[in-house]
């Protein structure tokens, strides 16, 4: 009744769940005791002067910064400088730029950007070498960004966020505030070094966290046993947790795959949650659990007609992982191929390809989508659609050429170029085999 009095988090539920789960995963990777001992590196004049003097020697800068990182985030080799990840216009001589040109003095902001980029690459190399838990290479790259908080370089990354266009500033502010609350940091010693924008987000996050018990709960979880939690503990979080805590529980259940089948009813109970991100994650998890039932199919069918594209996209993905859906859902999936959202359309195209020949009802929608992609000169999308057509009909090439009007020479020529590209790619693969 009085839920509206609760403090509102500074991130949406999906961002909050991602930040909290990945931060905890990184702390587990580094080690609780090491993490507690890692001090925040400050962008004071002395440190910036030292880093600035190494701007022209990326290898020495990387070696120096690696020495500040906790050992579990130190890679065995330094990343090779393949681009000028420094301030705009500075030549490093290692990426084809003209190092002989005179360089303008680096500003403190430029140096912080360089440090943030270098630390990210160091952490990414270490996480890849040590096979840190991540759902994909892209996820590992973003985790490497967040690792700078655990490694003590969060201030640099937060200050450089607007220039680097990686994680949003609000995520950096929340991650720094969450870590400070979990470690009981004396933030007054270092928050003065935050720039105005990250400072605003940090203060908002700190106010939110000081009014609820989430930092203490996460600290207790770090002190608890490692490994998969009992199903009843995950279900309790699913029932009673906040939206972000429900999402984290959903991810745990999805990771268990078929092991989550005993609590499928609890999972389905969240598929009508008022939070759109909870609904999307539940429907996406159904494909990982792998249980096919009438209720599951009905929920996925409802999801295909949700107002939010993330929910529709998750429903399409799961339908593609659960075998052949009923005829009415195949028709709905065919409609999703032509969805106004490129994300939903792409997931539906992939789902049709997974289902295979029994999804041939989607052929007209795929042909229309292929035409749209060719008109827009979107080769990547056109290739994906054509592969889906190949998966459901044996004579995909003839179907495509028959569909395209011969009077539209440009469009037909684009289709022929696409098919020739596929033939050349197939020949190359055959030769290499």
pLDDT tens for 330-365 read 999 999 999 999 999 999 999 999 999 999 999 999
CA atoms of 219 and 228, how far apart (whole Å): 17
Q: Clarify whether residues 48 and 150 are in a common domain.
A: yes
418 domain residue, yes or no: yes
**pLDDT tens digits for range 380-391:** 999 999 999 999
Q: Examine the domain organization and report whether 62 and 157 are in the same domain.
A: yes
The domain boundary, picked from 172, 193, 221, lies at 221
Residue 64: inside a domain: yes
Computed over every residue of the chain, the mean pLDDT equals 86
**Measured in whole angstroms, how far is the alpha carbon of residue 82 from the centre of its chain?**
24
Between 287 and 404, name the one with better pLDDT.
Answer: 287
Residues 109 and 205 in one domain: yes
Q: Is residue 194 part of a domain?
A: yes
pLDDT tens sequence across 421-431: 777 766 565 55
Residue 404's pLDDT band, with cuts at 50, 70 and 90, is confident
Rounded-to-integer distance, Cα 62 and Cα 76, Å: 12
Residues whose CB falls within 8 Å of the CB of residue 211, separated by 6 or more in sequence, listed in order: 7
Domain assignment present for 226:
no
Domain that holds residue 395: 304-313+324-348+356-433
Does any domain span residue 240?
A: no
C-alpha to C-alpha distance for 329 and 286, rounded to whole angstroms: 15
- 201 and 333 share one domain: no
CA distance 100 to 426: 45
pLDDT tens digits for range 4-43: 556 788 999 999 999 999 999 999 989 999 999 999 999 9
Encode pLDDT of 212-241 as tens digits. 877 877 777 777 666 678 899 999 999 998
Task: Check whether 273 has a pLDDT greater than 70.
Answer: yes
Q: Is residue 50 part of a domain?
A: yes
Name 169's Cβ contacts closer than 8 Å, sequence gap at least 6: 158, 161, 162, 197, 198, 201
User: Domain ends where: 205, 221, 237?
Assistant: 221
Indicate if 206 and 329 belong to the same structural domain: no
Strands (E), 190-336: none
Quick one: 217 and 308 in the same domain?
A: no
Q: Please tell me the total count of domains within the chain.
A: 2
Tell which wins on pLDDT, 135 or 199.
Answer: 199
Which pTM value belongs to this model?
0.85
pLDDT at 408 over 70: yes
Q: Out of 161, 196, 221, pick the residue that ends a domain.
A: 221
pLDDT of 88 strictly over 50:
no
- Whether 258 is in a domain gets the answer no
Is 274 among the domain residues?
Answer: no
* Residue 132 confidence class, pLDDT cut points 50, 70, 90: low
């Amino acid at each position: 009744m009085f839920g509206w009095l609760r403090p509102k988090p500074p991130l949406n539920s999906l961002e909050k769940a991602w930040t909290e789960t990945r931060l905890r995963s990184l702390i587990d990777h580094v080690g609780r005791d090491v993490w507690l001992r890692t001090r925040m590196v400050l962008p004071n004049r002395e440190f910036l002067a030292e880093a600035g003097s190494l701007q022209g020697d990326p290898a020495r800068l990387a070696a120096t910064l690696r020495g500040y990182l906790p050992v579990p985030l130190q890679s065995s080799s330094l990343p090779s400088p393949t681009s000028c990840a420094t301030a705009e216009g500075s030549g490093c001589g290692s990426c084809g730029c003209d190092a002989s040109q005179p360089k303008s003095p680096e500003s403190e902001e430029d140096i912080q950007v360089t440090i943030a980029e270098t630390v990210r690459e160091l952490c990414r190399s270490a996480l890849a070498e040590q096979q840190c838990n991540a759902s994909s290479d892209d996820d590992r790259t973003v985790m490497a960004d967040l690792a700078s908080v655990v490694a003590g370089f969060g201030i640099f990354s937060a200050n450089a966020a607007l220039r680097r266009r990686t994680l949003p500033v609000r995520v950096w502010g929340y991650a720094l505030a969450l870590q400070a609350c979990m470690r009981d940091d004396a933030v007054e010693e270092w928050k003065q070094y935050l720039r105005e924008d990250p400072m605003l987000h940090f203060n908002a996050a700190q106010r939110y966290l000081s009014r609820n018990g989430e930092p203490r709960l996460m600290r207790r979880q770090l002190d608890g046993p490692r490994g998969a939690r009992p199903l009843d503990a995950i279900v309790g979080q699913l029932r009673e947790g906040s939206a972000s805590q429900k999402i984290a529980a959903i991810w745990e259940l999805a990771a268990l795959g078929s092991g989550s089948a005993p609590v499928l009813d609890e999972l389905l109970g969240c598929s009508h949650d008022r939070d759109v991100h909870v609904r999307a994650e539940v429907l996406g998890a159904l494909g990982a659990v792998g249980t096919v039932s009438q209720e599951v199919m009905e929920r996925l069918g409802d999801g295909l007609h949700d107002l939010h594209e993330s929910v529709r996209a998750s429903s399409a993905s799961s339908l593609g992982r659960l075998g052949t859906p009923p005829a009415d859902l195949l028709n709905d999936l065919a409609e999703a191929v032509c969805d106004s959202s490129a994300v939903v359309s792409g997931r539906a195209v992939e789902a049709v390809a997974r289902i295979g020949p029994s999804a041939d009802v989607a052929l007209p929608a795929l042909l229309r989508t292929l035409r749209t992609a060719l008109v827009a000169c979107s080769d990547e999308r056109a290739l994906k659609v054509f592969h889906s057509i190949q998966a459901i009909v044996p004579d995909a090439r003839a179907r495509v050429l028959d569909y395209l009007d011969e009077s539209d020479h440009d469009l037909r020529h684009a289709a022929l170029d696409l098919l020739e590209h596929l033939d050349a790619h197939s020949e190359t693969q055959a030769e290499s085999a």
